[in-house]
Structure 1
Amino acid sequence: MKPKLKNAIPVLAKLAADHAAREMSEHEAMPRKLGREDRRCWYLLTIERRRENTVSAHLIGRGIRVYVPEQPKWTPRGRTKQREPMFPGYAFARIDYENEWPRVRSRPGVIGVLKDAKTGLPIVVRESDLVRVTDIERAALDTRKRSSFAVGDRVRVRDGSPWSDLDGPIWRLAEKDRIVVLLHVLGRRVKVELPEREIEAI
């Protein structure tokens, strides 16, 4: 029987509710708090359904951190090893909204960004909300171990591997201490699953 993740869907609605309760000055001050060098914040993108992974791969390949929470895919016979987006039609992205949003929005499959209904401003997703989402995802997947890496981190393959010296962003944290990395091979981006011990942070 498929378990009910009671805390999953309300997280999205709570993002908007929490934002509406905050002072406008807090939203405007966010980029200044981060300083000039890094004005990036997390936002919730709306994506065409069934294109979440395609859009995410494109953005990650261009240096943008993207997080698509996943859960096990269920069939009438029960749980499978396949995964599906926990929030179909959504993806979290960490961007400098003022400078990076135009090129993110132009990506086929991107519909928009979650905005405050009253002000029309994009909602900044707090780190604490992302932590809650990752906790829900970890509970749903059940078999995933904690990793020192995160989706979007750039890593290099260590010596001794057939892929040694290649580097790229992490695409997905797989099971049993394995990580899927987007490597640039022969002019193409290739998803390669590697043991965590074979990669290192750049």
Structure 2
Amino acid sequence: MPAISSDRSSWYLLQCKPHQDERAHVNLVQQNYVVFHPQFVSERVIRGKAHRVRDSLFPGYLFIHLGGNDNWAPIRSTRGVSRIVEFNHGPATVSENVIEHLRARCIESSESPIDEPLKPGEHLRIVGGPLSTLEGIFISSQGTERVMILLQFLNREHAVCVPLSNLERQQSSIQTTI
């Protein structure tokens, strides 16, 4: 690999061995390298329960901050690291602006509020689809992406299955009479 002659430091892209992003990250940090592993928080249903998990934004890749005087040799033999990504016979540099933007997006992802599961009797408003602007009451979940709600229209109550993405929580004025 060609040596970088400038004293200027830059961010570079590393390719990791399959499913070893975290291992490479830990090993590089232990060697005192500055590493950025962009991750986002997502929800997954595991054994019927929603869990928040961290996923790699770029699976198989890490960013490393290096200068021209840094020792690049240990990187190639670090466990979990496959290679330094190269373009045009030189290491691929990544702009500081891109790294800052990714950091900001990852922070936003981790700070997003945890949505509480819907409870039977909770008031909802339909915000999309053909029934938008109607209000209803949550009855039950129908899988992970649809719910059954009770709507009051045409002077009758109707149980309707609606995509979860078309609903929002509502402090509604709907009165239920039993």
TM-score by length of 2: 0.52
Structure 1 residues 49-198: aligned runs within 5 Å: 49-76=18-45, 80-96=51-67, 99-116=70-87, 119-143=88-112
Partner deviation per Cα, 1:80-99 (whole Å, 9 max, x = no partner): 33212111101111123675
Residue aligned with 1:80, SS: strand
Q: Deviations over 1:105-154 (max 9, x none)?
A: 111221112221xx22111111101011112212322349xxxxxxxxxx
Q: What stretches of structure 2 of length at least 5 have no aligned partner?
A: 114-178
Distance of 1:43 and 1:88 partners within structure 2: 16
Q: CA RMSD in A?
A: 2.7
Structure 2 residue 16 is matched with structure 1 residue 47: yes
Higher helix share: 1
1:79 deviates by 5.7
Contact 2:21 2:61 in 1 (8 A): yes
Q: What letter corresponds to residue 67 of structure 1 in structure 2? A: F
- Report the structure number with the largest CA radius of gyration: 2
- Conserved 8 A contact 1:73-1:79: no
What SS does structure 2 have at the residue aligned with 1:81?
strand
Q: 2:54 is aligned with what amino acid?
A: R
Tell me if the contact between 2:15 and 2:61 (Cα under 8 Å) persists in the aligned partners: yes
Distance of 2:75 and 2:56 partners within structure 1: 20
Change (3 A) 1:80 1:97: farther
CA deviation digits over 1:1-33, x for unaligned, max 9? Answer: xxxxxxxxxxxxxxxxxxxxxxxxxxx9x863x
Q: Relative to total residues, which structure has the larger strand share, 1 or 2? A: 2
Q: What runs of 5+ residues in structure 1 fail to find an aligned partner? A: 1-27, 145-202
- Give, as a single letter, the amino acid of the residue that structure 2 aligns with 1:85: S
